[in-house]
């Protein structure tokens, strides 16, 4: 006996397949939509990173610009003008020529002449120091003026005065032809301070009248005692 399917059963079966197909299609659409969104979001992030990198690179390039070199200072130019004419100066010095002579030739040469300067009697007398002359040298104004000068010029040394030192200092000196006094020396001393003061006073004397011999001024040696006495 043949079994027959009812039309209602077929409709139920087709309805179940349609629902299953619809569910599969819906799931496929949802999956594709999710994949598309994920891909779009990933691309946006990549693009954003690329843009930031480009901006940073531009900033780094701008910061690494080298400063402009400073202009070099101008060097002053010095013009040297050379003379049109040149004078050649020789630095060579004349050298005395020495000729060597053998022993035989030396015998033929005359002996060298030695010239001795002649000193006249007048020159010798002018340099001579006399101890005795026709006219003795004299202090301006005479002996009285000389002792007056000594009394006014001598400063008694304080050390000698405090120690009560006194006495006579004998000096010797030369009265030159022009009346000046030279070669002062102590012939007999008393105390170093008194000797020094006597020399100082004689050095300060004005020019004397020189001694004379045969009517001409000559150098003459003179002896002078200087007395130091406490009052």
DSSP conformational letter for 227: E
Q: Over the stretch 72-128, which tens digit does the pLDDT of each residue have?
A: 666 555 555 555 554 555 555 555 554 555 555 555 656 666 665 565 666 666 789
pLDDT of residue 201: 97
**What pLDDT is stored for residue 53 in this prediction?**
46
Q: Decide: helix, strand or coil at residue 7.
A: helix
C-alpha closest to that of 158 among 82, 228, 220: 228
Residue 20 lies in a domain: no
On whether residue 172 sits in a domain, the answer given is yes
Q: Is 81 part of a structural domain of the chain?
A: no
pTM of the model: 0.47
Instruction: Give a yes or no: residue 208 inside a domain.
Output: yes
Q: Whose CA is closest to 172, among 157, 188, 153?
A: 188
Q: Given the structure tokens 């340099």, which residue do they identify?
A: 127
β-pair type (216-228, 129-130): parallel
Total count of domains within the chain = 1
171 occurs within a structural domain:
yes
Residue corresponding to tokens 């000797």: 195
> Please, where are the H alpha helices in the chain?
7-63, 103-108, 121-127, 143-153, 158-162, 192-203
Q: What is the CATH number of the domain that holds 224?
A: 3.30.2420.10
Task: Using 50 as the pLDDT threshold, list the residues of the chain that sit under it.
Answer: 1-3, 42-43, 45-63, 86, 98
pLDDT in tens, 130-140: 999 999 999 99
Closest CA to 136 of 169, 179, 170: 179
Residue range(s) defining the domain that contains residue 168 = 142-228
Domain assignment present for residue 203? The answer is: yes
Residue 28 lies in a domain: no
Q: What is the pLDDT of residue 231?
A: 82
Residue 222 lies in a domain: yes
């Amino acid at each position: 006996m043949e079994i027959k399917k009812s039309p209602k059963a077929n409709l139920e079966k087709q309805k179940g397949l349609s629902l299953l197909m619809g569910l599969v299609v819906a799931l496929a659409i949802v999956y594709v939509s999710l994949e598309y969104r994920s891909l779009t979001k990933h691309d946006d992030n990549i693009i954003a990173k690329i843009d930031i990198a480009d901006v940073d690179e531009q900033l780094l390039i701008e910061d690494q610009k080298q400063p402009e070199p400073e202009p070099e200072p101008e060097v002053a130019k010095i013009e040297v003008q050379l003379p049109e004419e040149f004078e050649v100066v020789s630095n060579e010095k004349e050298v005395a020529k020495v000729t060597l002579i053998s022993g035989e030739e030396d015998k033929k040469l005359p002996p060298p002449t030695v010239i001795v300067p002649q000193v006249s009697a007048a020159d010798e007398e002018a340099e001579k120091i006399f101890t005795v002359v026709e006219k003795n040298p004299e202090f301006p104004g005479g002996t009285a003026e000389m002792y007056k000068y000594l009394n006014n010029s001598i400063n008694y040394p304080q050390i000698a005065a405090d120690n009560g030192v006194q006495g006579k200092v004998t000096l010797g000196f030369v009265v030159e032809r022009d009346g000046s006094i030279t070669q002062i020396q102590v012939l007999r001393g008393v105390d170093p301070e008194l000797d020094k003061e006597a020399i100082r006073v004689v050095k300060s004397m004005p020019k004397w009248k020189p001694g004379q011999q045969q009517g001409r001024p000559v150098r003459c040696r003179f002896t002078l005692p200087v007395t130091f006495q406490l009052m």
